[in-house]
Copies of this chain bind each other. A is one copy, B any other.
Amino acid sequence: MNAAFYQPVDAAVVPRFAGLSTFMRLPAVASPVGLDIALAGIPWDGGTTNRAGARHGPREMRNQSSLMRRVHHVSKVAPFSLANIADMGDVSVNPIDLQDGLARIEAGMAEIVAAGVLPLCAGGDHLTTLPVLRAVARARPVGLIHFDAHSDTNDTYFGQNPYTHGTPFRRAIEEGLLDPRRVIQIGIRGSIYDPDEHGWAREQGIRIIYMEEFVRRGSADVMAEARDVAGGQPTYVTFDIDSLDPSVAPGTGTPEIGGFTTREAQEMLRLLDGVDIVGADVVEVSPPFDVGGMTALAGATMMFELLCVMAANVGRRRATEGGA
C-alpha cells in the first residue's frame, strides 16, 4: 500500500535476537504525528493489591514481540501495509505516587489521541486502563469489550482507597467514560468476595459473561453478542492476560484456573473485525511471575491480533476516503 509506512525489521535479514527490542520490531518514534496506530507501553503497577510486577510488562512484551511476522495467517491482513504504525516508547509514569502516576499516563495518552492516532497499549496493571479511558473518552463515553477473569468493578480497598486494579471500571463509569450499557465482560470466573459482588455492575447495565456461559455457547455466539453490545459505536477493547488460563499465562498477578485457551482468545479477537475500536490494551503481564516468557509471548501475540483488526479498520477507512 503505502511505501512510506514504517516497516518492521526483516527476520530473514536481521535475526530475531538481534537489534534493539521494540514492539513488533518497528522503529521507535518520539511523536505520534503521522501515525495511524501507536504502540505504547505503560510500565506501571501502582494499583496492584497483591503480586506486583506488571511494571515490567512492556519490556518483556517488546522482547517476545520479536517473534511476530508481517501478515495474519487467517485474515491475511498485513497491518504494516494498511496503516502507519510505530513504537512510541513508554508513557511517563510514577511508581511512588498513585495520583501522579495516573495523571502522567493520561497526559501521555492524550498526546496520542490529540494527534488522531489510535493507541494500542501494553500495560501495566489494569488500573492503567482508567487514565487511558480518560484520554480516549474525554469527549464522550465509549463502549468496552473486556476480556478478564475479574469484573474489576469493586469499590474500595484497604480503608477507603478507590483506585486499585480491582476498581477501574467502576471509576470509569462513575466518571462518565464508559456507557455501561455498551460494556461487556467475558471470561469472568474465580471465587468472589460476596454473592452479590457483581450486582453493582449488573445494575449499571454491564453484561457479564461468566466462563461457564462462554464454554456453553462458544466464541462465535459470544462475540456476536459482544458486537451487538458495542453497537457499531466507538469501543475500547481491554484484554487482561489473566483471562487466559494459567497454563499459558502464569505470569500475572491474580491467576485463576479454568481460563481461556489461547486458541479461544484468538478466535474472539479475530471476531472483533469491523468493530470501531478507538483504542485497546493488553494488561497484567507480570514478568517476575512468568515462566519461560510464555505469558509475555501470549500478550505480544494478542497485541498482534488486536493490531490486525485495528489496521484493517484503518485500511478500510482509507480505501473509503480514497486514500493510501
Which A residues lie at the B interface, using CB under 8 A? 11-22, 28, 41, 43, 45-53, 55-56, 58-59, 62-63, 67-74, 76, 78, 87, 89-90, 92-98, 100, 154, 156-159, 161, 163-164, 188-195, 197, 210-212, 215, 245-248, 250-251, 254-259, 261-263, 266, 288-294, 297-298, 301, 304
Contacts and interface: CB of A to CB of B under 8 A. Distances in A.
A94 B248 CA distance: 31
Contact of A15 (B43, B70, B212): B43
A293 B56 CA distance: 14
Contacts of A291: 250, 291-292, 294
Contacts of A59: 17, 21, 63
Contacts of A15: 43, 49-50, 55, 93, 95, 158
A302 to B, nearest CB: 9
Contact of A100 (B16, B49, B159): B159
Given A246-B248, A255-B297, A192 B71 contact: yes
Contacts of A89: 19-20
B49 A95 contact: yes
Mostly helix, strand, loop or mixed at chain A's interface? loop
Contacts of A261: 245, 247, 258
Nearest to A45: B52
A263 B215 contact: yes
A258 B20 CA distance: 27
A256 B301 CA distance: 9
Contact of A13 (B11, B158, B195, B293): B158
A196 to B, nearest CB: 9
B50 A16 contact: yes
Nearest to A254: B67
B289 A290 contact: no
Contact of A212 (B74, B90, B164, B288): B74
A48 B71 CA distance: 22
A71 B193 contact: yes
Given A49-B15, A59-B63, A255-B67, A195 B292 contact: no
A256 B73 CA distance: 12
22 contacts: A13-B158, A18-B43, A19-B89, A20-B20, A20-B22, A20-B87, A20-B90, A21-B59, A45-B52, A46-B96, A47-B96, A52-B52, A67-B255, A69-B192, A69-B193, A71-B194, A71-B197, A73-B189, A97-B158, A257-B263, A259-B263, A291-B294
